[in-house]
Amino acid sequence: MYIGVDYYPEQWPRERWQEDIPLMKELGINVVRIAEFGWSLMEPEEGKFDFTLYDDAIAFMEEHGIKVVLGTPTATPPAWMAHKYPDILPADVNGVTISFGARRHYTVNSRTYQYFTKRIVEQMALRYGQHPNVIGWQTDNEYGHEKSDRSYAEEDRRAFQLWLKEKYVTLDALNETWGTVFWSQTYTAWEQIPVPRKVYQEHNPSLLLDFDRFCADAYNRYNRLQTEILRKYSREDMFITHNFVYTDLALNQKEMAKDLDFVSFDNYPVWGGLAEPITPAEIAHHHDLCRGAKPGKGFWVMEELIGAQGWSRIGYLPRPGQAKLWTYQAVSRGAEAIVYFRWRAAHFGTEEFCHGILDHDGVPRRKYREVKEIIDAMNAFGDEWIEAEYKAEVAVYYDVENAWAWNIQPHSDALTHKKEFLRFYSAAHSLNAATNIVSPGDSLEGYKVVIVPIYFLTNPEFNEELKKYAEAGGTVVFTYRTGVKEPSNVVVDTTLPGRFREMAGIEIHEYESLQSVQQNTVVGVSGAIEGVESAAKLWCDLITPTTAEVLAVYKDTFYDGTAAITRNRTGKGTVYYIGSAVEAGMLEKLYAEIFAEAGASTLPSPEGVEIVRRTGKDGKVFLAVMNHNADSGAVVQLPAGRWSCAVSGTTYERELQLDKLGSIVLVTS
């Protein structure tokens, strides 16, 4: 298993290499990622190339038995380029040009930038594509990060119009699809179509969604431009990956993954200014997304947080044990390599408060010892663990196009796609149900339950798969605002939930959007949630059951008594519909019942304790048990049998005590 660090040889005098690399070796590091911000070193002036520094660094690593992943340096075009070719620069929604001075100051649609990209990538590929110590490539760095996913410059406008022409062929088709008859927006020449810069009110939602698709597609094309060159010149066994960040950007991770050997992920549960880490469920969701981006493949964590991070604001300091916890979580959910960010904090530049394994003074201390402990542990059982299977019985639908549609029209001041997705994902996570993310194109066969959160923008392929799945006996959980939109982002003309009416056995005749200051109440009337009350926030679908039975009703306002949650038997399957944003307490009770009925396994655990099960070919079970609580220990009930610690061999039965932020991997013994 590869465990490494992100290293910046260019930021340190060579004498320091001679201290750093032995320290890395002592830790057990076997890989470094380098070079992803090195363009001005590699091409100090236009067309003049100089790879001396990286040649030497790679050689030095090789001497010490450390492999290298090389990043292409295109996230940071050099000053000479930005100055001489300002058409590479992106623009914001007001048309303000983004200045040189930080990073990602380019638009992928710039033809000039594409030219320079091709040249530098080719130069790198020629030089290192056959290098025995280089094991793979990372293209660019964190596409779309820092609001660089959408650019509104002239080059973008030109490219958007071409993209639309490719997609729609005729203006009639575009006008018809977008409904440009509304507000007299009919386009009679491709040149008339704007990028969605500032307007007095809001743009056509179909244009906005296509603009997001275009942005994502432009990034994919730009990435492909790099991968094609890299593949052409590289050894067969070299991999190509890209390190993604976050979700819901105008990027299509799943689509881009097709051009990669596997995806990578930069795992920062905290960042500059964040007072607390994001929730364990959100981290888990990110891992699930990565694992699902390229089914059958694991992923790399190309940057794993080890110290406090920040630009001008510095975030939460990771506590003792937290690095191990987050590493275990990542590997348990599919990571096959971990690269810590970064070896040592830089003394200069925007990221000088991004703390690494070492701080500015370069003295190994707590974090160094923690990484040592992790690496020793992974050396003991990591490879075997990674080979063991993560088997999901619950699928959770996620499609970035649906996220875009929501973010274009969030309905309420309190609604974001991410938060609502997590509402319906987290209840499964709390039950320690093993989940996979599924997207249009994926098969649902074999899953016990499929959760389909806020399925607003529908996808024909996924619609079909869902129907087939339910008819064949599957269990589907729909939520509020299901089936509202066609892929073109126009509203369906059938009664909601649109094409799922029959499946769900309901009709929605009215609904109410709730702002952050408003709420209604839902009360359970049947089954596990009978008598349970929950606030109903953000949205209330007023459900008229046709064939469905009522599990919960609304309590307040004029729709007191109206159905809020229903269950329908359809074909051999069962379809739930949750009409409002109810609270975790109610959702977890409901999910527990649904999962039990569908035969999907769960594992009880105290709040904040995550358990992930993997099974080896020989039937050996790995149980990662992780206490995310920073302030309290936990007592966890273990599944039947005897368990032993994968590192120490200490055995446990029935019960396991974990310190705050404690984590352990148990194996059947």
Nearest to 589 by CA among 576, 571, 572, 574: 576
Nearest to 154 by CA among 87, 222, 242: 87
Query: By CB under 8 A, is residue 618 in contact with a copy of itself?
Result: no
Task: Out of 14, 26, 79, 585, name the contact with a copy of itself by CB under 8 A.
Answer: 79
Dist. CA 587–CA 33, nearest whole Å: 42
Where residue 474 falls (left for φ over 0; alpha for ψ -120 to 50; beta otherwise) is: beta
Stretch that binds a copy of itself, among 126-134, 244-252, 513-521, 560-568 (CB under 8 A): 513-521
Query: By CB under 8 A, is residue 268 in contact with a copy of itself?
Result: no
Are residues 565 and 533 in contact, defined by beta-carbon separation less than 8 angstroms?
no
Are residues 381 and 664 in contact, defined by beta-carbon separation less than 8 angstroms?
no
The residue behind tokens 């499929």 is: 450
Between 187 and 341, CB nearer to a copy of itself: 187
Are residues 611 and 642 in contact, defined by beta-carbon separation less than 8 angstroms?
no
- Find the binding residues for a copy of itself in span 539-578 (CB under 8 A): 557-558
Query: By CB under 8 A, is residue 13 in contact with a copy of itself?
Result: no
Between 493 and 655, CB nearer to a copy of itself: 493
List the x/- string, 392-421, binding to a copy of itself by CB under 8 A. Answer: ----------------xxxxxx--------
The residue behind tokens 């991070």 is: 309
In angstroms, what CA-CA distances link 363 with 24, 33, 211, 344? 13, 21, 49, 9
Which candidate in 36, 255, 303, 420 is catalytic?
303
Least CB distance from residue 585 to a copy of itself, whole Å?
A: 24
* Active-site residue flag, 142: yes
Long-range contacts of 358-363 (CB under 8 A, 24+ apart): 358/23, 359/307, 362/16, 362/19
Least CB distance from residue 399 to a copy of itself, whole Å?
A: 20
Between 346 and 528, CB nearer to a copy of itself: 346
**What is the distance between the terminal CA atoms of the chain, rounded to a whole angstrom?**
23
- Find the binding residues for a copy of itself in span 35-74 (CB under 8 A): 37-41, 44-45, 73
Stretch that binds a copy of itself, among 6-14, 381-389, 574-582, 608-616 (CB under 8 A): 6-14
Between 105 and 127, CB nearer to a copy of itself: 105
Are residues 106 and 113 in contact, defined by beta-carbon separation less than 8 angstroms?
yes
Dist. CA 517–CA 90, nearest whole Å: 38
| DSSP code at position 278 | P
Least CB distance from residue 642 to a copy of itself, whole Å?
A: 32
- Find the binding residues for a copy of itself in span 332-371 (CB under 8 A): 345-353, 360-363, 365-366
- Find the binding residues for a copy of itself in span 81-100 (CB under 8 A): 82-83, 90, 92, 94-100
Query: By CB under 8 A, is residue 619 in contact with a copy of itself?
Result: no
In single-letter form, the type of residue at position 382 comes to G
Between 620 and 660, CB nearer to a copy of itself: 660
Contacts for 485 with CB less than 8 Å, ≥ 6 apart: 405, 456, 457, 458, 491, 492
Task: Out of 122, 373, 512, 593, name the contact with a copy of itself by CB under 8 A.
Answer: 512
Least CB distance from residue 65 to a copy of itself, whole Å?
A: 27
- Find the binding residues for a copy of itself in span 101-120 (CB under 8 A): 101-105
What residues does 552 pair with on adjacent strands? 524, 565
Least CB distance from residue 273 to a copy of itself, whole Å?
A: 6
Least CB distance from residue 514 to a copy of itself, whole Å?
A: 7
- Find the binding residues for a copy of itself in span 466-495 (CB under 8 A): 488, 490-495
What residues does 568 pair with on adjacent strands? 575
Between 185 and 668, CB nearer to a copy of itself: 185
Between 212 and 465, CB nearer to a copy of itself: 212
Dist. CA 137–CA 230, nearest whole Å: 8
Dist. CA 305–CA 277, nearest whole Å: 11
Which candidate in 142, 351, 465, 486 is catalytic?
142
Per-residue exposure over 352-376, b if at least 16 CB sit within 10 Å of its own CB, e if not: ebbbbbbbeeeebeebbebbeebbe
How many residues interact with a copy of itself (rule CB under 8 A)? 118
Query: By CB under 8 A, is residue 179 in contact with a copy of itself?
Result: yes
Task: Out of 25, 198, 232, 235, name the contact with a copy of itself by CB under 8 A.
Answer: 198
In single-letter form, the type of residue at position 352 comes to E
Between 513 and 601, CB nearer to a copy of itself: 513
Between 486 and 588, CB nearer to a copy of itself: 486
Where residue 591 falls (left for φ over 0; alpha for ψ -120 to 50; beta otherwise) is: alpha
SS3 at position 148 = coil
Least CB distance from residue 62 to a copy of itself, whole Å?
A: 23
Task: Out of 118, 119, 147, 224, name the contact with a copy of itself by CB under 8 A.
Answer: 147
Between 410 and 571, CB nearer to a copy of itself: 410
Least CB distance from residue 168 to a copy of itself, whole Å?
A: 15
Active site residues: 142, 303
